[in-house]
Each structure stands twice: as C-alpha cells, then as structure tokens.
Amino acid sequence: MAQPAGLLYSKEHEWLKVEGDTATVGITDYAQNSLGDIVFVELPRIGAALKQHANIGVVESVKAVSDLFTPAGGEVVEVNAALEADPALVNRDAFGDGWLYKIKIDASSMPDALLGPDDYEKLVATS
Amino acid sequence: MPNANEILTAAHDEPPIFALGKPGRANTYFAAGPSAQTFLPASALRDDLPLPDNSELDVVRHYTRLSHRTFAIDLGFYPLGSCTMKYNPRINEAMAALPGFKDLHPYAPDELAQGALQVMYDLERALTAIFGMSAFTLNPAAGAHGELTALFIAKAYFEKCGEHKRRTVIVPDTAHGTNPASAAMVGYNVVSLRSDARGRVGLDELRAALGDDTAVCMMTNPNTLGLFEDHIKEITDAVHAVGGLMYYDGANANALMGNARPGDMGFDLMHLNLHKTFSIPHGGGGAGHGPVGVAERLVPFLPRPIVTKDCDGIYALVHDGDDAIGTMRSFWSNFAHAVRALSYVLANGGDGLTRVSQLAILNANYIRVQAREFLEMPFDEPCRHEFVASARALKRETGVRALDLAKALLDRGYHAPTIYFPLLVPECLMIEPTETESKETLDGFVTALREIVETAHANPQAILDAPVATVVGRIDETRAARQPDLRWTPVL
C-alpha cells in the first residue's frame, strides 16, 4: 500500500504536512492499525514550544499506552479538539480528520531526518 | 431462575445481587440492637439505604454461580506470561489455616506470637539464601509495592550519602512493565533503554545513558522476552562504576531458584512476588506479597518492623531504626501469605526448588520448539521460563491478530497468554507454562494453538469470531475503557 504523497514521515510513525510555516501532525495509518482501538489521546497545550523528537504526549489504545514524539520543533498553534470526545477518529481517518495538532515551525530548525512516502513505505514493509 | 442446563454450563444471565431476594429475607443471627437514631444525630442519618436483602443460601448460590463463569488455575491451563500462574499446593492452605496463625490477633504481644514471628524470620532467612541478598523485608504487600519500597530505600540511601543529584532511573524496554511507573511515583526521571538485536540490554547504549545523575537501573532477568541477560555482570559493574544501584525485578524469579542468584549478579535491591514464584493464589486483584531484598549497605534503610532473634531463640518485632524508611504496610503485611510461602519452601526443600525452576524452563522450551513450526519467533533461541512469539506474519497473511488467537484459545478451554507485552515485539504472545503442567497438558495446548493457526489460514473468519463457546463473547473494549459503568444504580 502506498503512503500518501506530499507528507513527511518519522521513524516513530508520525506524519507531517507542511503548509507555509505551519505543519499538521498526525500518526500514520500503520501506527493506528498497530495500536488497535484508540481510547485516549493526550495532546500538547496550545502555545507549548516543542523540540523535534521530544516526547510530547501519549496515545492510549485497548492494548497499550504509546508515547507521542513530535517530528518537528515549533510552537503548538492548534490541537484537534474533536479527539477528546471521539479518539477513534485516529483509527478511522489517520491521515485526515484524525490529525493531532498543528505547529508553527521554527524557521531556524527545519525538520531533519524525516522520510518521504517511498522510504516510509519501505520502513513499514520491513517492520 | 436459570434452568438446569444453564446452571451446568454457566450460560445463564446472572442478575446483580441487588436484584435478587425480597425484603426481610436476610438471615438474622443476632437480636436487633438499639436503633441508629438513639446514638447518631439526625444529620448523620440517611433516609434509605438500598442494600440487598437475601438469604444466606441465595447469596452462596449467587456467588457460586458467578464463580462457575470464570477461569482459574484450578480449572485449566493458564499460560499467562510474566504472571507465573502455577498450581497452589493445598498444603500451603492447610498451614495458613492452622488456628495459631489464622486466629492470631495483629496486636498480639511478641511473647504470644513466637510461632508467627518465627515464620517471618525463617522465610526472610530462606529468601536471603535463595537469592543471595543480605536481608529481606516482608513489609510490601505486592510486586509494584515492593518496587516502590526499594526505590524509597535507594532514595534514602542517596540522601544519607548527600548525593542529591541522582534523580534518574534507567529502565530497559525488556523490564517489567510497572518499573517506570514506580520510578515516577518516587519522583525520579525515567530513561528508557532500547534492547539490542538479541533482545538484551546493549552495553554501549547503557553506558551512554549512565552518568553522575544515575540513581538506579531496574532490570528483569530473565527479561520479559524470557531471555537471560548474559552480560549481567558487565551491566551491574558499569552501573556501580558511576555510583548507581542495581534493582532486580523478581517477576521472573521462577526461572532462577537454584540456578542463579541476583545477589551474585551484582544486584543491590530486589523484590519477589511470593504470589507468583512461591505458589500463592492470585489474579483478579487478590492479595499478593512482595518482599524486598537488599545488599549489606542498604540493610539499615529497610522499613520497620523487622523480626529479630536473640541468643536465647526469642523472636521480637523491632520498630525503630534511625535510617529506616518507615513502614510500608500496616501490621505484619499479608502474613498468611508468608505462611504459604514458607510452607512451599519447606515442602520443596533446596533441591525441590531447583527442580521447580529447571522444569519451568524445560516446559517453556518444550512448547517453544513446537510452536516455532507455525508461529514467528522474533528471538529464536532457548528461552528461560517463558518465551515471546509473534503473530505479525499471520496478521499480514490472514488478518488474524494476537488478540484473535488469544480469544480462540478461550473457546478451546485454555486461558489466554499475555498479549501485546512486551511492547517491543509487535503482535506478541508471551507464554509461560510453569513447572506444574504435565506433558499431556502441554501437548494439548500446542495442538490447540496449531489448529487455531491452521484455521486462521483456511477460514480466518472462524478465528475472528472467537470466542463462541464462552459465556460472554467479544466485548466492546473501547467502550469498556471510555465509559466504564462500575456502579449499580438502584431502580427506586
């Protein structure tokens, strides 16, 4: 299965969609499938300054609690409030309505060590 | 009332106890006392209290029927990895039920409780010998409580030494799952270590994490993959070299007895789950017992009371100690469990306990070698008392996950193994048969597992629909996690 084009991917199975100086962050379809039914998502606060690769929250499924890492550094400008009432949105639409938060990317620290769709697909195929 | 067939197959819908009975049905053994109004002010009284009103016989039947709907080690094979669900020998119960132990008042003075104090003293000495520590406390009530106790001891030790900078606890991803939570509760920062390609702690990764802020490194050995950490001496030496303490999580101690001792490996602190390794009934939240053992330099910090024996053979509870961390549990902790554990130790003897661990390892390998013909083994080498298999390939090929295999095992009369732990193996099943199972039982389990995997390839839907033979089928786990309804509300 091909991964959506136009996104960047981390080895921790997060995706990043960059639009200008802001970026939307979510977890990949592979990640939600591995986690199983998601029952709770803990997101960073709006205004929080995140460092790239930092542990900034958790996703809890019926199987386990997993750490969330941020694929890029920046300031949180919006979080997906719909996930509080319906965390299963991540299961149903990981690349769309199940997005997690948006950040204003630090111009000085553009994200590094991220993968394109083809490389991420290779990672998933061997996981 | 359920009909006969429903009762025999436990396939009835048992109402809550509140919905049974009728007003005035409860047995009365005592004459009614003065009414509450005579000794409580009106503000402390409630208008009504809808307690169930049932006869003793109806109560006994209600709970016995419920007990028929559950699963227990006394009913069938229970290969729940990391939990050591072994047979609980009945001699333990006979000893714990002796009137001198069972009826002893927790406030009894030492001179009237000499036998009970000797049980605690002898058990503490036995654990010290089996695991190579200097002393044990029987204070902690269960495993995670033992972890907490040990970390308080470590913290008190570092404070006494003036080493306030030591605030980091290192936990490999193959350690027992409660370790990071215990460290966080004590206020330490947790650093997680990734295991290497062999499923062991990598020395280079460990050395990179060590520093003058290192307080404790918590390890489980054999680890949660069922593998022995074969560089354990280098690991404990490296942690000691930076001034840190080594903590041994006893969840997997069932592989160790007579084979190896944490004290000899260089561990400074450890806990045991007596309810696992020493055959005490557990599961379902029942009382556990989690003694903590320490190396010589940490003995002064052990919680109180401790039992001492003087030169005349008189036992006493000692409550004071300048460096002691206090008391972790009221009275004598779960004393009846100390009786059961000592009974198990004495009934087996040293050679018997060694054989326990050897058979636990043999049984796990007996299943593993057969299961590798039809399940992926991410770490394909001889295991200790448990092993981890993966349904990752099966999921890719058939859509059947570890969860579905576990559910299908229920239909075949087996308790499910631990699934989705440890987290580092996708779709994992952690299988621990224990030493008390016969070859026939192990063969039956392997046959069931093989048949389930074959069915998953031929007709995956049959496995995805499991369980179909149990009283309750697939439950809505998401709803159970998000909207738990734990309180019965009376219809008034």
A40, A60, A63: residue with CB nearest B420: A63
- Partner A contacted by B403 (CB < 8 A): yes
Task: Indicate whether B125 and B229 sit together in one domain.
Answer: yes
Residue B471: which of B23, B43, B66, B4 has the closest Cα? Answer: B66
Q: Is B386 in contact with B82 (CB distance < 8 Å)?
A: yes
Whether B492 shows a pLDDT value over 60: the answer reads: no
Chain B hits for A63, CB-CB cut-off 8 Å, are 403, 419-420
The answer to whether the Cβ–Cβ distance between B482 and A39 falls below 8 Å is yes
Chain B hits for A124, CB-CB cut-off 8 Å, are none
Nearest-CA distance A65 → chain B (Å) = 9
Q: Is residue B237 part of a domain?
A: yes
Whether B285 shows a pLDDT value over 80: the answer reads: no
pLDDT value at residue A65: 84
**A-to-B residue pairs, Cβ atoms closer than 8 angstroms:** 23
Q: Is residue B236 part of a domain?
A: yes
Closest alpha carbon within chain A to B482: A39
Q: Is residue B33 part of a domain?
A: no
pLDDT value at residue A67: 86
Task: Indicate whether B286 and B144 sit together in one domain.
Answer: yes
Which of B293, B315, B346 marks a domain boundary? B346
A34, A37, A62: residue with CB nearest B426: A34
Task: Indicate whether B326 and B410 sit together in one domain.
Answer: no
Task: Indicate whether B339 and B415 sit together in one domain.
Answer: no
The answer to whether the Cβ–Cβ distance between A40 and B478 falls below 8 Å is no
pLDDT value at residue A126: 78
pLDDT value at residue B276: 96
Measured CA angle at B217 (ends A63, A56), to 5 deg? 45
Task: Indicate whether B376 and B341 sit together in one domain.
Answer: no
Residue A74: which of A10, A127, A24, A11 has the closest Cα? Answer: A24
Mutate which of A62, A65, A123, A127 to test chain B, going by most B C-beta atoms within 10 A? Answer: A62
Q: Is B102 in contact with B95 (CB distance < 8 Å)?
A: no
A34, A37, A127: residue with CB nearest B478: A37
Task: Indicate whether B238 and B292 sit together in one domain.
Answer: yes
Task: Indicate whether B156 and B286 sit together in one domain.
Answer: yes
Task: Indicate whether B254 and B371 sit together in one domain.
Answer: no
Task: Indicate whether B298 and B397 sit together in one domain.
Answer: no
A34, A62, A127: residue with CB nearest B481: A62
Q: Is residue B488 part of a domain?
A: no
Q: pLDDT for B429-440, tens place per residue?
A: 999 999 999 999
Q: What is the spatial distance between Cα B235 and Cα B143, in angstroms, rounded to a whole number? A: 23
Whether B233 shows a pLDDT value over 70: the answer reads: yes
A64, A88, A127: residue with CB nearest B420: A64
> Which amino acid is it at A80?
N
Average pLDDT, chain B: 94
Q: pLDDT for A72-93, tens place per residue?
A: 889 999 999 999 999 999 999 9
pLDDT value at residue B57: 93
Q: pLDDT for B446-471, tens place per residue?
A: 999 999 999 999 999 999 999 999 88
Chain A hits for B421, CB-CB cut-off 8 Å, are 64
Q: What is the CATH number of the domain that holds B415?
A: 3.90.1150.10
Task: Indicate whether B249 and B308 sit together in one domain.
Answer: yes
Chain B hits for A41, CB-CB cut-off 8 Å, are none
Task: Indicate whether B131 and B95 sit together in one domain.
Answer: yes
Residues of A at the B interface, defined by Cβ within 8 angstroms = 34, 36-37, 39-40, 60, 62-64, 66, 87-88, 127
Mean pLDDT of A102-118: 81
* Per-residue pLDDT band at B67 (split at 50, 70, 90): confident
Residue B248: which of B165, B121, B361, B132 has the closest Cα? Answer: B132
Chain A hits for B423, CB-CB cut-off 8 Å, are 64, 66
Q: What is the spatial distance between Cα B175 and Cα A85, in angstroms, rounded to a whole number? A: 34
Which of B313, B346, B379 marks a domain boundary? B346
Q: Going by C-beta distance under 8 Å and a sequence separation of 6 or more, which residues neighbour residue B99?
A: none
Q: Omega into B467 within 30° of 0, i.e. cis?
A: yes
Nearest-CA distance B450 → chain A (Å) = 24
How large is the ipTM?
0.76
The answer to whether the Cβ–Cβ distance between B477 and A88 falls below 8 Å is no
Q: Looking at the 3D structure of chain B, how many domains does it have? A: 2
Which of B346, B381, B405 marks a domain boundary? B346
Which residues on neighbouring strands pair with residue B317, listed in sequence order?
B307
Q: A14-108 has which CATH code?
A: 2.40.50.100
Residue B176: which of B418, B356, B470, B403 has the closest Cα? Answer: B418
pTM for the structure as a whole:
0.89
Task: Indicate whether B117 and B211 sit together in one domain.
Answer: yes
Range of the domain at B470: 350-479
- Partner A contacted by B481 (CB < 8 A): yes
pLDDT value at residue A108: 66
| Residue B422 structure tokens | 């440890």
pLDDT value at residue B490: 65
Q: Is residue B263 part of a domain?
A: yes
pLDDT value at residue B245: 98
pLDDT value at residue A99: 97
Q: pLDDT for B384-407, tens place per residue?
A: 999 999 999 999 999 999 999 999
Q: pLDDT for A25-50, tens place per residue?
A: 999 999 999 898 999 999 999 999 98
Q: Is residue B25 part of a domain?
A: no
The answer to whether the Cβ–Cβ distance between A34 and B403 falls below 8 Å is no
Q: pLDDT for B318-347, tens place per residue?
A: 999 999 999 999 999 999 999 999 999 999
A34, A39, A66: residue with CB nearest B478: A39
* Per-residue pLDDT band at B1 (split at 50, 70, 90): low
| Residue A16 structure tokens | 């990043």
Residue B328: which of B292, B306, B304, B307 has the closest Cα? Answer: B304
pLDDT value at residue B105: 95
B423, B477, B478: residue with CB nearest A64: B423
Q: Omega into B2 within 30° of 0, i.e. cis?
A: no
Q: What is the spatial distance between Cα B369 and Cα B382, in angstroms, rounded to a whole number? A: 9
- Look at A34 and B12; give whichever has higher pLDDT: A34
pLDDT value at residue B488: 78
